[in-house]
Structure 1
């Protein structure tokens, strides 16, 4: 079943992935790593503008997203996903920023006293306000 690409839809998919047996979770991790765009198309009901955005994303962004998601799921953690819009606010070509945050125990500079678990990954999609809209 395809989900909406919003906080509840992403949360629902992650709950399914993290509560599945290891073989199924490994299948999903491998799918995200090998074909991020295909994964998104298979599990989310996306609008034409979202599909176009996926198809024009840089390789660097796709790689960062896939590795962050895969590492989190492999550690048994949900990705912290935030998307600050509703369909009424989010227009077809509204500019957006995608902010990725990551904490990994192999970092050169560990975060002292951090409460973030190893493998923590956060994706935040922020839609910009456009003057006159």
Structure 2
């Protein structure tokens, strides 16, 4: 089932993922980590411009975002998500994707790195293109 890419649809998708049995959750998390853009396309009914925006996301940014989301789902926690709504979704206004709480890695000599996974928040907002 594909969900709408809005606050309600993302919330429904997240609830369905964190509620999966362990084996299915593991497969979903692996899909997110290895093919985030494919997971987005399979999970959400994206508009053509949203699909194009996925294509132009830088690889490093996509990698970090995918792993942060997957880390939360592995712990069966949902990600805070808020996407502004607009009357005309096909407008060419500038879109900002703002992330708070990406993973922090701490390394102490003679130990293995530890990863702190803070609460993740994703906000999508629009700036009028002048």
- Which TM-score bucket, shorter chain as reference? 0.7 to 0.9
Superposed displacement of residue 94, structure 1? 2.1
Superposed displacement of residue 74, structure 1: 1.1
Taking the aligned partners of 2:60 and 2:103, their CA distance within structure 1 comes to 18
Mapped partners of 1:75, 1:119: distance in 2: 12
Q: TM-score, normalised by structure 2?
A: 0.84
Task: Write the deviation string for residues 35-91 of structure 1: whole angstroms up to 9, x where unpaired.
Answer: 0110011111111101111111101221121011011111111011110123x1433
Moved more, 95-104 or 121-130: 95-104
Look up the match of 2:3. Answer: 3
- Equivalent residues in 2 for 1:36-55, closer than 5 Å: 36-55=36-55
Q: Unpaired segments of 5 or more residues in structure 2? A: 108-115
Describe the SS at the equivalent of 1:100. strand
Find out whether 1:93 has 2:92 as its counterpart.
yes
Residues 60 and 104 of structure 1, relative CA distance in 2, 3 Å threshold: closer
Off by >4 Å, runs of 4+ in structure 1? 103-108
Paired with 1:119 and 1:25, the residues of 2 have a C-alpha distance of 20
**Structure 1 residues 38, 105: closer, same or farther in 2, change over 3 A?**
closer
Give ranges in structure 1 of 5+ residues lacking alignment.
109-116
Q: TM-score, normalised by structure 1?
A: 0.82
| 2:28 paired with 1:28 | yes
Tell me the distance in 2 between the aligned counterparts of 1:129 and 1:77.
33
Let me know the Cα RMSD of the aligned residues: 2.0
Note closer, same or farther for the CA distance 1:107–1:83 as it changes in structure 2 (3 Å cut). farther
